[in-house]
Amino acid sequence: MSAKQQNHFKKMLLQLKEELGEDIDRTVHTMQDEATVFADPNDRASQESDISLELRSRDRERKLIRKIDETIAKIDAGEYGYCDSCGIEIGLKRLEARPTATLCIDCKTLDEMRERQVAK
């Protein structure tokens, strides 16, 4: 992968990380501003359900930020764009769609098939 391509993916990852950070900050402020105690148990349950869903979403984003940091470290080390399993180069189209991808499409397909077999 050329230096220009690596810079492209690094910029893409940094922008995504910034957007996720802004979303997290916005959620924290919103949750602090909307902290209301409802007398009605149904309203309280609805609010708790909304908060729970929001927190699960933010936890997924937190994990994605960690993966973005790991991917940026790979770019800096010159190891970005290669499959962790078989070592071949991951296609540019796959990296454009999912810049944090660590497996080539063939290894990812096999991995998903194994997951489905274990889940049965």
Q: Residue 105 contacts by C-beta under 8 Å, 6 or more apart in sequence?
A: 90, 91, 94
The residues of the chain scoring below 70 in pLDDT are 34-35, 120
pLDDT tens-digit readout, 39-60: 788 888 888 888 888 889 889 9
pLDDT given at position 52: 87
Do both 65 and 18 map to the same domain? yes
How many domains would you assign to the chain? 2
Torsion of CA 9, 14, 18, 23, to 10 degrees: 40
pTM: 0.80
Q: What sign results for the dihedral spanned by CA atoms 95, 100, 104, 108?
A: negative
Domain of 42, in residue numbers: 1-80
Do both 87 and 118 map to the same domain? yes
Instruction: Write the CATH number for 24.
Output: 1.20.120.910
pLDDT given at position 35: 66
The span from the CA of 77 to the CA of 101, in Å, is: 16
For helices 3-33 and 41-77, the axis angle rounded to 10 degrees is 160
